[in-house]
Chain A
Amino acid sequence: MVEMVSRPYASAFEKFAAGNPDILCLSADLTSSCEIDGFRDRHPDQFVSMGMAEQNMMSFAGGLGLAGFRPFIHTFGVFMYRRPYDQLMASVAYPRRKVRLMGFLPGITTPGGMTHQSIEDIAVMRSIPNMSILETGDATEVESICEAADSIDGPVWCRVLRGSVPRLFDTPIRVGEMRVLSEGSDVLVVTAGITTEEAMRARSALSRAGLSIRHIHLHTIKPFDHAQLLDHIGSVRHGVITLENHVTEGGIGSLVAETMADAGVGKRLIRLGLKDTYAHGGSRAYLMRYYGLDALALVRGIETLTGQEFGITEDDLDHARVDDVHSLVKAEAL
């Protein structure tokens, strides 16, 4: 049984930030939804309430950076780049302010539908000069995201998981590295965020089917170690498959594609994720199935890649965790 950790960001952020006067916690009216309500109550001097006004918050954070502070700004990821994109560019990214953008509810982890789902944020952030990008895939990564982000000399975009989060890893994020979760020689699977857990669910079924999987988990999307990825691609026979909680354009699938094309690698690549579509509202498990982001979609993708059928069904996969809709670790509806 995988260990579930309750609200890992809440304690990690408090441990990291409390008592450091250069770190400020900014919030745009989603304080408990971003698990910083306890911090607000216990460390009011380091908490700056910005209200539901994200454009102002972004440039305000830029100003705080100019005054020597390292603001951690908190809201749902989607509200942190769509409306305040211009402010993000001019006030934060261009001048390389040390603003740490903590974006909650990445991709389809929210039932709030199109307006709440950040499905193209990685594509946007990858194309912004000076921006770094981190994504958390388990509780240990959430627990280490603050140190990791704050070690970067410039702005950082973080996709943060919240609520009840599985512990998959026992070492913290080391910026610029990637995790090698298995070292097989048939197919390279590249995942990030919540799709890593999905790929792990398929692991034993695939190995029973006689397939040797090499699995890489990315917590650092920018900067990126292209040479290491190329080594892994060179170690597999069939090719590469990516699975992301994001559109297939501009995210980690594109990152792998660009790496391969730049190096002239002639292997096949299958990119799984949201296929040029918006999503709608629903539970995470439903959306992952509906849009083909889950373990079964990965198995089907691997079948296409290898030209084999393994006869694997949902029953052969490790159990999916079903989030409790009314869990107390979730403060609000969303």
Chain B
Amino acid sequence: MRNEKTTEEVALGIRRRVFEHAMRNNGGYLSQACSAAEQLAWLYNEELRLGEPTLPAIPAPFGGVPSADNPDYHTGAGYNGPAAPEYDRLFIAPAHYALVAYATLIETGRMAPEGLEMFNKDGSSVEMIGAEHSPGMEVHNGTLGIGLSTGAGLAWGRKRRGEPGRTWVFMSDGEVQEGQTWEAVQACAHHGIDNLFAIMDVNDQQCDGAMSSVMDVGDIAAKFRVFGAHCVEVDGHDLNAIREAAAEPHEGRPLIILARTSPFHTMSILEERFPRLHYVRFKSEDERARFNVSIAADLGVAPVDLSE
């Protein structure tokens, strides 16, 4: 399934949707749309080989958790198409990027815009922290640092079964502080897992602020290399650079693309909030109004009508 839009258009559409949502809800994971829109747009619009969605365009309500008494339970992976051998799989490892991921599903025609209206509503499956039953999700990743390991296991298993499809993991840079991330790379190197691909949003941000002030992680590209990954660093807002990075040969090793990004790219007024950008909640109606006008102008849309 290929979209009619260019990847640039998809990225802009993602930002517009997340902006509108954040305005209406007095805040949200807005900065993650600034940093990650190109990465998710590129994955869904051109890089991933995915089949047609198998779940309804308008997401069904929450249908219960996995249990022997819940035989109809299913994950939200069907929005990425069927899990056929030839298709790729994607995990959104930092589950708080769900809002951006849902906007991507809408922009690439995999979910109806109504899906975003259900975001974080009681009884909805479109959860704020993407759950495994949420659209586009196949596993629970709200506890950060477990996504790459799951991806490694799935990739190893698919290789053993001779499946040509690749396993992709979208990661955040906060995850490199968790030891498990490094254990995953170590296992990939040891077992020669090269059908695993990761792209990481290196926005230098975490909940408490700039990563260097919270827990410095140093030269993560060098660390990934010595742990045994093929690691490429690119400007995460430069689609051509991302495309070239994805084409690099990496036999016997996983490919990890570090997408260096700005947490206020395309929404310049967000810089006012630096270095606290993890979750932007407007502190006053005045601030909300100023951000509304400024970001709308940056994104080339009319300000969101906040009167309702």
Question: Which residues 3-49 of A have a CB within 8 angstroms of B?
Answer: 27, 29-33, 49
Min CB distance B5 to A, Å, is 29
Q: Tell me if B65 and A286 are in contact (CB < 8 A).
A: no
Cβ contacts under 8 Å, B142 to chain A = 112-116
> Nearest CB to that of A31 among chain B residues?
B208
> Nearest CB to that of B216 among chain A residues?
A51
Min CB distance A186 to B, Å, is 34
Q: Which of under 10, 10 to 19, 20 to 34, or 35 or more describes the interface residues of A? A: 35 or more
A265 on interface, CB distance cutoff 8 Å: no
CA distance A56 to B177 in the complex (A): 10
Interface of B (DSSP majority class): loop
Q: Tell me if A286 and B122 are in contact (CB < 8 A).
A: yes
CA distance A280 to B151 in the complex (A): 23
> Nearest CB to that of B207 among chain A residues?
A29
Q: Tell me if B127 and A113 are in contact (CB < 8 A).
A: yes
The A/B interface has a contact count, at CB < 8 Å, of: 112
Question: Which residues 52-85 of B have a CB within 8 angstroms of A?
Answer: 62, 65-67
Residue among A32, A52, A79, A332 with the highest chain B CB neighbour number at 10 A: A52
> Nearest CB to that of A27 among chain B residues?
B208
A281 on interface, CB distance cutoff 8 Å: yes
CA distance A88 to B129 in the complex (A): 26
Question: Which residues 298-334 of A have a CB within 8 angstroms of B?
Answer: 326, 328, 330, 332-334
Number of residues of chain B lying within 8 A (CB) of chain A: 43
- Which of A49, A279, A328 touches B208 (beta carbons < 8 Å)? A49
Q: Tell me if A55 and B179 are in contact (CB < 8 A).
A: yes
Q: Tell me if B65 and A278 are in contact (CB < 8 A).
A: yes
CA distance A313 to B26 in the complex (A): 34
Stretch at the interface among B101-109, B236-244, B261-269, B278-286: B278-286
Q: Tell me if B129 and A334 are in contact (CB < 8 A).
A: yes
Contact A333 B143, CB 8 Å, known A56-B179, A112-B128, A280-B133: no
CA distance A334 to B133 in the complex (A): 19
Question: Which residues 173-213 of B have a CB within 8 angstroms of A?
Answer: 174-175, 177-180, 206-208, 211, 213
A63 on interface, CB distance cutoff 8 Å: no
CA distance A330 to B281 in the complex (A): 10
Cβ contacts under 8 Å, B25 to chain A = 326
Question: Which residues 138-160 of A have a CB within 8 angstroms of B?
Answer: none
> Nearest CB to that of A333 among chain B residues?
B279
Contact A52 B174, CB 8 Å, known A115-B129, A116-B142, A326-B27: yes
> Nearest CB to that of A332 among chain B residues?
B279
- Which of A33, A51, A282 touches B177 (beta carbons < 8 Å)? A51
- Which of A30, A82, A115, A326 touches B207 (beta carbons < 8 Å)? A30
> Nearest CB to that of A116 among chain B residues?
B142
B214 on interface, CB distance cutoff 8 Å: yes
Question: Could you show 18 A-B contacts with beta carbons less than 8 Å apart?
Answer: A29-B208, A30-B207, A32-B207, A49-B213, A49-B215, A52-B144, A52-B145, A52-B175, A53-B177, A53-B179, A56-B179, A112-B129, A116-B143, A277-B65, A280-B131, A333-B96, A333-B128, A333-B279
Residues of B in contact with A (beta carbons under 8 Å apart): 25-29, 62, 65-67, 95-96, 120, 122-124, 127-129, 131, 133, 140-145, 174-175, 177-180, 206-208, 211, 213-215, 278-279, 281, 283
Residues of A in contact with B (beta carbons under 8 Å apart): 27, 29-33, 49-53, 55-56, 78-79, 82-83, 111-116, 277-283, 286, 290, 326, 328, 330, 332-334
